[in-house]
Chain A
Amino acid sequence: MSYLPFVLAAWIFLVGIFGIVRSRHFIHLVVCLSLTQSSTYVLLLSIGYVKHGGAPIFKDVPLGTKAVDPVVQALTLTDIVVSVTVAALLLALAIQAKKHAKTMNPDELRPVRG
Chain B
Amino acid sequence: MVPLQATITILVALGALAVALTSDLVRLVIVSSAYTLLLVVLFVVLQAPDVALSMLVVGTIGYPLVLFVAIRRDRADD
Chain A residues at the B interface, C-beta cutoff of 8 Å: 1-2, 4-5, 8, 11-12, 15-16, 18-19, 22, 24-25, 27-28, 31-32, 34-35, 38, 41-42, 45-46, 49, 53-55, 57, 67-68, 73, 76-77, 80-81, 83-85, 87-88, 91, 94-95, 98-99, 104
Could you tell me the distance in whole angstroms from the C-beta of A67 to the nearest C-beta in chain B?
A: 8
A-chain residues with CB within 8 Å of residue B42 when the two chains form the complex: 42
B-chain residues with CB within 8 Å of residue A73 when the two chains form the complex: 48, 50-51
| A38-B39, A41-B51, A98-B77 known; A4+B16 contact, CB < 8 A | no
Whether a CB of chain A sits under 8 angstroms from the CB of B12 is yes
Complex Cα distance, B43 from A97, in Å, reads: 36
Q: Judge whether A8 and B46 touch: CB under 8 Å.
A: no
Chain B residues at the A interface, C-beta cutoff of 8 Å: 1, 5-6, 9, 12-13, 16-17, 19-23, 25, 28, 32, 35, 39, 42-43, 46-51, 54-55, 58, 62-63, 66-67, 70-71, 73-74, 77
A-chain residues with CB within 8 Å of residue B58 when the two chains form the complex: 80-81, 83-84
Q: Judge whether B1 and A2 touch: CB under 8 Å.
A: yes
Q: Judge whether A15 and B62 touch: CB under 8 Å.
A: no
Among B1, B62, B77, point to the contact of A4 (Cβ < 8 A). B1
Among A2, A8, A85, A98, point to the contact of B74 (Cβ < 8 A). A98
